[in-house]
Structures are given as C-alpha cells and as structure tokens.
Amino acid sequence: MSSTSDVPTTESESSPTRSARKTVALIGNPNTGKSTLFNALSGMKARTGNYPGVTVEKKVGKVVWDGREIDLIDLPGTYSLSPRSPDELVSVDVLLGRQAGVDAVDAVVCIVDASNLERNLYLVSQALDLGLPTILILNMMDVAEARGIEVNAEELGKRLQLPVITTQAHRRKNIDIVKQAIADAIDRPLRTPESLFPDPFYEEVGKLREILRAEKNIDLPQFLAQRLLIDREGQIEKEVTGHGEAGQKVKTELTAARERLAEANCRVPGIEARVRYGWARELLDGVVTHPAERPASRSDAIDRFLTHRFFGLMVFAALMMLVFQTIYTWAGPFMEQIEAGQEVIVGMVDRVLTPGPLRSLVVDGVIAGVGGVLIFLPQICLLFLFIAILEDCGYMSRAAFLMDKFMARLGLSGKSFVPLMSSFACAVPGVMATRVIESRRDRFVTILVAPLMSCSARLPVYLLLIQAFIPDRTLAGGLGLQGTVLFLMYSIGALVAIPVAWGLKKFFFPGETPHFVMELPSYKIPSVRVVFDRVYDRAKAFVVRAGTLIFATTIVIWALGFYPGNHDHQYDLQRSIRAADIKLEHESEKLAEVELSQEKGEKLAAAKEDVRLAEVHLNDLEEEYRRVSSQLMADSALGRMGHAIEPAVKPLGWDWRIGVGAIASFPAREVIISTLGTIYSLGGDVDEADEGLIGALRSSRWPDGRQVFNVPVALSIMVFFALCAQCAATLMVIKRETNSWRWPIFSFVYMTALAYLGALITYQVGSLWL
Amino acid sequence: MPAFMEAPASRLLTDLQPGESAVIAEILGDDSLAMRLMEMGILEGEGISLIGYAPLGDPIEFEIRGYRISLRAAEARRVRLEAAS
C-alpha cells in the first residue's frame, strides 16, 4: 500500500477497525526457534522490558504489514500454559488480555518443532482452548526431513481448521507467508474451542465459575476456571483460595469438585495429559509418518560421545576452559582498545575545553561513565557468542546434564554451572546468563552468589597489594608465597558462596527442591544468524537497560569526588602545566638547533640550562598539581565520607584514605587504584604495577608515625575486595534481571557485611600472628 | 498362594538398564512434579527407554515419544513401569 500522508483526511475516514492497532502473541516450546521467528518477523527492532512485578522479559516488536499496525509479543518458551508461579501466569494473562500494559491479543501464533510434533502439540492443544484465531507454524522442517519424518502440513491444517505454515526460521524461509497469515488472522472472529474433556469436567468448571461469582464476585474466564480445577496448588488456586472465609469456601468446593471428578474416572491433574496427548496422537495419525526403524542418527552418536563417562567430561572441561579463556584473556585486547579510544577522546576534549567543572564532568564523569559501560561489551559479546553457539547446537542442556549432580551438591542445578563459571571472569555476563534457569529459586540464588566469584576486576587490587606487601618467598613444597596468597584470594569467594547459597535457599527461598526435568534437544549445526541475533540482543539489552544506570552511578561518584571544593588553583595549575609543557618543548627544540649548528661552548651550556630549568619548573608544577588534587579529594564529599567512616574501618586496620578508596570504588573495584594514586599525590593514572604507588603505600604513616600498611592490612583489604559488591555494573544488571531494586540492595548489603566481617577477622587474627 | 503368582515387585523407571525399554504403568503422585512429567508426555501406556547416565551417575537420559529428556533419579522414581512381559 502506498503512503497516503499527502491526503490528510484519509486517516479519519478509514474505519476504526482498519486503523486499530492489533496484538499478536507468539508462543511455543523451548528449542523450537521461536525467538528466531520473532526476530525474523520483527526485523530485530523489538523493545525489551520487564512485566511489572515479575522477572519475565517483555519483548514487543512493532510492525506494519499491509498497512496494519501490529504489536508482536514474544512470550517466553514454555511446555504448557499451566501457571504454577506469578512468572508463568504472565504468559496466560497476556493471552487472555488480563496483563496490564498489554492490549488484548487478537491472534496467537504457535510455533512447533516439526521433528517432535506430538509433544509440541500439547501446548498447542492448550492454546486452542483460548478460543483466539490461531496460526500453526511447523518450524525445523529440515530437521524433520533429515530424520526421515514426513509431515503432511496440508492435511494437518484441514483437520485443525487452522492455517498451517512450514518454515525454516533461521533461513528466513516462508517468513512472508507467515506475515500474510498473521495479517489475515487478526480480524477473524473468536473460535469455539473443541470440547476435548469428558462432560463431567465441563460441568464442574461451570459450577466453579458460579461459586466464584457468588462467593468472591470474580468472573473467572473459562480458560482460568479450567486451570483452577486441574492445577493442584497452581497459581490460580493460590490466588482465589486463601483470603478469609470466601476463599476457604472456594477451596472446599474445589476439593469436592476434584473428588467428584476422580470418582467419575476423570481424575485431575492426570486427565489433562491423557486427553491432550490422546488428541495429539489421533490428530497426527496419517499426518506424520515416521521411518519404520528409527535410523541410528548422527545426533545419537554425538550424544553418546558427549555424555560419555570419560570423553564427555574431557570435552566439557576443554570447552569450558575455552569459554573461560575467551572471556578472561581474549576479551583483554578489545577492552584495551576501548580504553585507548577513551584516552583519545579525553585528549580531544582536553584541547577543546578549558579547565573547569565542565571539563572535569565530561572527562571524569561522562567519558569515564560511557567507557565504564562499553568496557563490559567484549566480555558480554564473547560469552554470549559461546552460549549462543552451544545453545543452538544443543550442547548447553548437555552441559547442564553433565554438571547437575555436582551443582546439586551445592543446592543448585546443572543450569547454574555456566553462569557461575563465567562469573569468575565477570559477574555481569554471568548474571545475564542465568536466564536459562527455569526455577525462580535456583535462578535468584545463582544471581545472588555470582558476584562472589572472583572476577578479573579484582586482579589489579590483588596484584598491587601482593607486590607491595607479600614477601616474595618460597614456601615448603616449592610454592611461592605470593602465588599462594593470590590463589587463596581467588578461592575465598567461591568457598563463601557455598554457605551463602545454602542460607539463601533456607531463609529467603524456602520450599521444596525445584525439579530438573529437561529436554535434551537433538544436535544440529548452529545457525550463524541465530547466534549473531542473540549476541546483538544481549549486548543491546545490557547497554540500553543496565548501561544508563551504570553511567548514572559514575556521574554521582564523580560529583562526590569533585564537590565541594574550590578548584580554581587546580585549573590555574593545569593551564600553567600546559604552558610549561610548551615552553619545555620550545627549549628542547632550541637546544637541538644549537647542537646541530656546531656552535659549542657557552651557547650550548646556556641552552642546556634553559631546558633544565624548564623541566624543573614543569616538575614543580606537576607536583603542586598532584598535591592540590590530593587535597581537593581529601576535602571533597568523598574524602569527608572517608574520614567519617574511619572509626568504622579502623578495626580493619584501615585509615581514611583506604576508606575513600573503598567508597570511590563503588562503580568498579579497580577504581581504588587510581583513587589511591590521587590521594597519595601520584595522579590518577597509576596502575597496579606502579613503583611510585607501591612506594607510597609502603611509606604511608598514621599521624603517630606507625606504618599504615603491613601484611595484615594488605590481606584485610584484599579479603574485603574479594567479598564486597563494589561493582555498579553487577548491581545494575541484578536490578535488570530481577526487575526489582530489592535484590541489588540485598546483594550490596549482604556482600558488604560479609566483606567487612572477613576483613575484620583477617586483620584481627592476622595482627596476632604476623 | 504359590510364590510365583505373587505380584512382582513394582519396577520403577530407575530400574531400567541402559538401552532397555519398558511401558509406563503409572505416574506416582499428583503434585507439580507429576504434572510436569505428564506435560512432557510421560504417561501410562507409553513406551520409554533409558539411554544412559550422566558421567557422575545422575541425572539420567531417557527417550520417549521420539525425543530425549533428562530426569534426576529422584524424579524418575516417580514413574512406575509395567512388569516386563
């Protein structure tokens, strides 16, 4: 359709139903290519968010097809529409038009794995009970063909009286046909669902609805009333029973109804699976032909090898080493590029902006903030590159299968392994990778302990303090003392995570152990498109949704370190330093000229003296600048906070300067190094191997002349940084993934308490012994 | 009653050997785990075979309705099998 924007009246003339925005929901089992189809349909322009109060990701793609505006909603992959938790209820609420902020759904697109139709049809059967216009997508037709399974899509469509379309979503095959089918379906009237269950079932559903109307004044939709009757201790039952007398009455009636059904040989919940699978089998009879003898497929052979007692574990270990290496080491060059780019931009800003608050804000706030977000992208992209490849080829669930027993000993499931392992490189992608964990309880516990794993940002802190204070001695058995301390620091977080996970399960997420019923999809060659879509999706989600919060944190910490304080003298010094720099360059050039001109004697001596003087002048100014900066930091809000908490950190063996470092490193642990550099008048651009910083730490004194730093203090700082939550990015990602401020605050509080306690014990016990 | 006529001790899914198949007799219980097993197509009358164990002995891989599924031993014990004929 051509644009009619040049005829302003057209819009108001068109009938309201034509112009009304329509809503279409996409549902399907996990591993069916649902997200791939969604990406193909929405053209990767989907907006992501969260549904209020739950952790379910809300994905909406706004598209215009055939002149029709449509909101495509990607619902989370699921095997059934029986809500057992608030998270699972969201999908049902969206489909029934009960979800706030989402318009009533006009049509449903069900995507199924054509190579595994029978089980996939269970969900379809439930979806058909919604009575909405429905389209069935048979995806992965290539996989079905490869396994010798023939599907007569036309016959299936005839029997179901639904549009049935075969696709290969990762190859973008038949996507236009799907779009057309959706555009056709959105105006179709509601369907009358087929009555699959025996009559007594529907009679009881009708009675229940009446009771609810009478007792609680609730008009429960037919679909939910069925769920109420079937799902023992399901989410609907939790919501309508319980509250007071009326709830109790409903509960009694519900129990009686279930008993009557059991007597009528139609016992819930078993009846549902029997009815729906019976329906699916009958439906597929003559539609799907399996090869007489299932051929020993390549997938089976691969599976035997990859789950083998010995080779399986070897391959797994090698793969995990590779993943870890990639995010730990190979992300390094990319991160250095980002830092180098940051410096180039800072250099440009330095030339454009004169010294002042604006320049400080831009350089130390804005650019540092943007850099602080981008710096995580290499690790996120690389980790999700691996995860997407392993997921799409079918290995991820095998990894969970292999590691489940090990993780079950820690109270988690096999699906927590990869997120926790990744957190040893960086908790940010680690926390983001917990989305695969179905059980809310396991997922939250994994998210909350992931930041305890010793990530790469802790390494500079360990290296600095070990270099400066741990003697380079060899212990019995040939182990180096420095290396041993480093290893202990790496282990401490993981060791502490075990009791923490146990405590979280016991006190914050009580309940029975979540089950671990997991499909093991057949292996296939991963699709480049699917993999890159996923990496892009995760990177975008991080930048858009967590990045803004991380950026804001950096600005706040910058302001705390900048204000209050009169920076005029500092700016004067910056200007003088620039002038002195130019002068030195000028004098050096003159000296070079004199040297070239063969004129020796007095002229050369004078030129050399000029260069020397210029150097001395510049050094004096720089020293003064660092002293002033240090004083400004001490007088800033941050410095005052450091002084204010000194009584609290003194039992850890810390002085106010270390306190400032700990507060200033809230955005990221490694910031403590540049903060200490500034406080010790060395400038902020020191690194962990800086001789000057190591020297300054060694000679730092208390007012009474005692050394601030000794071995117990160094150990106490390291233990603190091993256990603390000084990483705004992690906290903001936790906010995003849990969709609540409660959990990042909780993480911060519990980790800070642990860190304080750990540092206290380390210092106090260490002071006795060392 | 002669000993051979006694009902055989009921076999559970965990009693299968790798490569062995059997027909499901019953899913024990009607809690959320039982519902989940049934949703996944693990139903009475259906054939199921044990493919193999994870290297650490648990969970266990099964095949049912032409697809593969992993169950922990504790979950698999909720599935009673028909006596071998």
DSSP A649-682: HGGGT--HHHHHHHHHTSSBTTHHHHHHHHHTTS
Interface residue of B60, B72, B79, B80 to substitute, partner A, most A CBs within 10 Å: B72
* pLDDT given at position A296: 67
Interface residue of B21, B24, B31, B32 to substitute, partner A, most A CBs within 10 Å: B32
Parent domain of B72: 3-81
The alpha carbon dihedral of A165, A170, A171, A177 has a sign of positive
Average pLDDT over residues A198-220: 92
Report the candidate in A303, A457, A374 with the shortest Cα–Cα distance to residue B69. Answer: A303
pLDDT value at A447 more than 70: yes
Q: How far apart are CA A130 and CA A108, in angstroms?
A: 9
Q: Do B43 and A516 touch (CB under 8 A)?
A: no
Interface membership of A517 toward B (CB under 8 Å): yes
Interface membership of A80 toward B (CB under 8 Å): yes
* pLDDT given at position B48: 96
Average pLDDT over residues A521-535: 89
Average pLDDT over residues A578-586: 86
Contacting residues of A for B57, CB less than 8 Å apart: 405
Q: What is the pLDDT of residues A378-416, one digit of tens each?
A: 988 998 899 899 989 989 999 999 999 999 988 899 999
**pLDDT band (50, 70, 90) for residue A185:** very high
Q: Do A312 and B38 touch (CB under 8 A)?
A: no
Q: Are strands B67-71 and A518-520 parallel, antiparallel or unpaired?
A: antiparallel
Q: Do B39 and A290 touch (CB under 8 A)?
A: no
Q: How far does the CA of residue B45 sit from the closest CA of chain A (Å)?
A: 10
More confident residue, A143 or B84: A143
What CATH number should be reported for the domain whose range is A10-185? Answer: 3.40.50.300
Q: Are strands A134-139 and A164-166 parallel, antiparallel or unpaired?
A: parallel
* pLDDT given at position B8: 54
Q: How far does the CA of residue A311 sit from the closest CA of chain B (Å)?
A: 9
Tokens of A290: 């399996």
Interface membership of A268 toward B (CB under 8 Å): yes
Contacting residues of B for A294, CB less than 8 Å apart: 66
The enclosing H or E element of A123 equals: helix A117-128
* pLDDT given at position A200: 93
Report A:207-226 residues touching B (Cβ under 8 A): none
Each domain of chain A, given as residue ranges in start order, spans 10-185, 199-265, 568-635
Q: Do B30 and A408 touch (CB under 8 A)?
A: no
Look at A24-33, A219-228, A289-298 and tell me which has the smallest mean pLDDT.
A289-298
Q: Do B69 and A518 touch (CB under 8 A)?
A: yes
* pLDDT given at position A7: 37
Q: Do A520 and B71 touch (CB under 8 A)?
A: no
Average pLDDT over residues A336-343: 90
Report the candidate in A517, A513, A307, A519 with the shortest Cα–Cα distance to residue A412. Answer: A513
Q: Do B41 and A310 touch (CB under 8 A)?
A: no
Interface residue of A112, A151, A311, A401 to substitute, partner B, most B CBs within 10 Å: A401
Average pLDDT over residues B70-84: 92
CATH of the domain at B37: 2.30.30.90
Contacting residues of B for A307, CB less than 8 Å apart: 52, 54-55, 61
- If phi > 0 it is left, if psi is from -120 to 50 it is alpha, else beta; for residue A200 that is alpha
Q: Do B32 and A84 touch (CB under 8 A)?
A: yes
Q: Do B65 and A79 touch (CB under 8 A)?
A: no
pLDDT value at A153 more than 90: yes
Q: How many beta-carbon contacts under 8 Å exist across A and B?
A: 121
**pLDDT band (50, 70, 90) for residue A577:** confident
DSSP track, A687-707: -TT-HHHHHHHHH-B-TTS-B
Interface residue of B40, B44, B64, B78 to substitute, partner A, most A CBs within 10 Å: B40
Q: How far does the CA of residue A210 sit from the closest CA of chain B (Å)?
A: 26
Q: Do B38 and A231 touch (CB under 8 A)?
A: no
**pLDDT band (50, 70, 90) for residue A294:** low
More confident residue, A449 or B83: A449
Nearest to B61 among A270, A307, A516 (CB): A307
Q: How far does the CA of residue A398 sit from the closest CA of chain B (Å)?
A: 9
Nearest to B39 among A79, A520, A521 (CB): A79
| Maximum CA extent, chain B | 44
**pLDDT band (50, 70, 90) for residue B9:** low
Report A:521-560 residues touching B (Cβ under 8 A): 521-522
Q: Are strands B67-71 and B60-64 parallel, antiparallel or unpaired?
A: antiparallel
Q: Which residue of A has its CA nearest to B27?
A: A270
Nearest to A402 among B31, B54, B71 (CB): B54
Count of structural domains, chain B:
1
Interface membership of A308 toward B (CB under 8 Å): yes
Distances (CA, A) of A717 to A239, A524, A763, A769: 49, 49, 9, 17
* pLDDT given at position A9: 36
Q: Which residue of A has its CA nearest to B54?
A: A402
Q: How far apart are CA A321 and CA A10, in angstroms?
A: 62
Q: Which residue of A has its CA nearest to B64?
A: A119
More confident residue, A110 or A269: A110
Q: What is the pLDDT of residues A537-576, one digit of tens each?
A: 888 888 887 888 888 888 888 888 888 877 788 888 888 8
* pLDDT given at position A522: 87
Q: Do B39 and A116 touch (CB under 8 A)?
A: no
Report the amino acid identity of residue A82.
S
Average pLDDT over residues A277-294: 89
pLDDT value at A525 more than 70: yes
Report A:311-370 residues touching B (Cβ under 8 A): 312-313
Average pLDDT over residues A503-527: 89
Report the amino acid identity of residue A737.
E
Supply the mean pLDDT for chain A.
87
* pLDDT given at position A295: 64
Q: What is the pLDDT of residues A50-97, one digit of tens each?
A: 888 888 888 999 999 888 899 999 999 999 999 988 888 999 999 999
Q: What is the pLDDT of residues A641-697, one digit of tens each?
A: 888 888 999 999 998 888 888 888 888 888 888 888 777 777 777 778 778 888 888
* pLDDT given at position A12: 39
pLDDT value at A6 more than 60: no
Q: Do A312 and B55 touch (CB under 8 A)?
A: yes
**pLDDT band (50, 70, 90) for residue A586:** confident
pLDDT value at B6 more than 60: no
pLDDT value at A191 more than 50: yes
Q: Do B55 and A82 touch (CB under 8 A)?
A: no
More confident residue, A615 or A135: A135
Interface residue of B21, B27, B35 to substitute, partner A, most A CBs within 10 Å: B35
Q: How far apart are CA A219 and CA A376, in angstroms?
A: 49
Nearest to B56 among A234, A405, A515 (CB): A405
DSSP letter (8 states) at residue A96: T
Chain B residues with at least one Cβ partner in A under 8 Å:
27, 30-41, 43, 51-52, 54-59, 61, 65-72, 75
pLDDT value at A15 more than 70: no
Report the candidate in A111, A108, A102 with the shortest Cα–Cα distance to residue A59. Answer: A102
pLDDT value at B3 more than 70: no
* pLDDT given at position B85: 55
Average pLDDT over residues A291-313: 82
